[in-house]
Amino acid sequence: NLPKFYIDFDNSTSRDAAKDIKKEIIRLKNIGIKGLVLDLRNNGGGSLKTVVEMAGLFIQEGPIVQVRSMNKESQILRDKDRSIIWEGPLVILVNEFSASASEILAAAMQDYKRAIIIGSKQTYGKGTVQNVFDLNRMVRSNTNGDLGALKFTTQKYYRINGGSTQLEGVKSDIVVPDKYTYVDFGEKNQENPLEWDKIDPVSYEPWKTFFDYNKTIQASKNRMNSSEFISLIDENAKWIKSIRDRDIYTLNYSKFKKDLLLNEEKAKKYKKLSDYSSDLTFKSLPYEIDLIAKDSSLGEKRKRWHKNLSKDIYVNESLNVLNDLRLSYVER
């Protein structure tokens, strides 16, 4: 899981998200991985420079995103490095809280047909850039204390296909419901959001691959439609939506108690969702096993993480999709 696209702007030689992901992919390739899942769930964004470099790990070269300021032509940010770190099957996991830089990466990989996007119906939908201006800098002397700051929007992001990620976010190729599926989240639910629009697309070449994306996506959708567990997740999401939207409550004690008991019964029913566990097993990379031998607390952290992964139906389906992609390559 990548929590954000981090970077230290004051030190160009320090770690950043793109460098760290590159290093981990190389380590994974050295032990012979067959597919890669990049988890961008709950990733609120970060450095634009870093996301462009990270996208370049998966394509040879080309445009990644367009950035446009008011009354100015769009600027095209490109990957100029012809080297590719990972050429194999790629899945990107997203949810309603994947925003900004996360959406740029997911959108670029989707436009290039380089990855399959799995997760919520759409991502957060934040396709704008904000700057903060310190009001204290406007006056030479101030006896009134801190004047605060202004935060204003200066730029807008656009996909290489021309569409904005503003409001609409990135639509998943494979939608897997979660408890927030029917709850209104995202930029479009904020006050006075900028509208969605589009500009001219840029020239780019889709990824030349022998993987059958359409067949793989359909196979996953078929699994979703036939899964009782997925149906229960969707049912739970609708129930959560109904509770959040409720704004009228009875003052009749008998009716109130009846509603309370009904909700308790439903809560027990949906508790089954926390009991989910797959038969997947996970293990740390060789370099980390050496670290764990010296640090028992790290070992405990990894045990908890591996257990959580085995209980994550979204990770499970991502691995199913990777396997289907590999099989589609063999069949072709």
Yes or no: say if 99 and 123 are a contact pair by the CB < 8 Å rule.
Answer: yes
Q: Which of 98, 100, 164, 172 is catalytic?
A: 100
Amino acid sitting at position 91: V
Yes or no: say if 50 and 2 are a contact pair by the CB < 8 Å rule.
Answer: no
Count of H helices and E strands in the chain?
A: 9, 8
Calpha distance 233→228 (Å, rounded): 9
Query: Quick one: CA torsion of 88, 221, 172, 237, rounded to 10 degrees?
Result: -130
Q: Which residues contact 103 (CB under 8 A, 6 or more apart)?
A: 45, 123, 124, 125, 126, 127, 157, 165, 169, 170
Q: Which of 126, 172, 318, 328 is catalytic?
A: 126
Paired tokens of 85: 């770190």
Cα distances (angstroms) measured from residue 324 to each of 176, 196, 313: 17, 35, 16
Other Cβ atoms less than 10 A from the Cβ of 313: the count is 17
* Residue 111 designated active-site: yes
Q: Count of alpha carbons within 13 Å of 139, Cβ hemisphere only?
A: 11
Query: Quick one: CA torsion of 203, 56, 28, 176, rounded to 10 degrees?
Result: -60
Handedness of CA 323, 327, 328, 329 (dihedral sign): positive
Active site members? 100, 111, 126
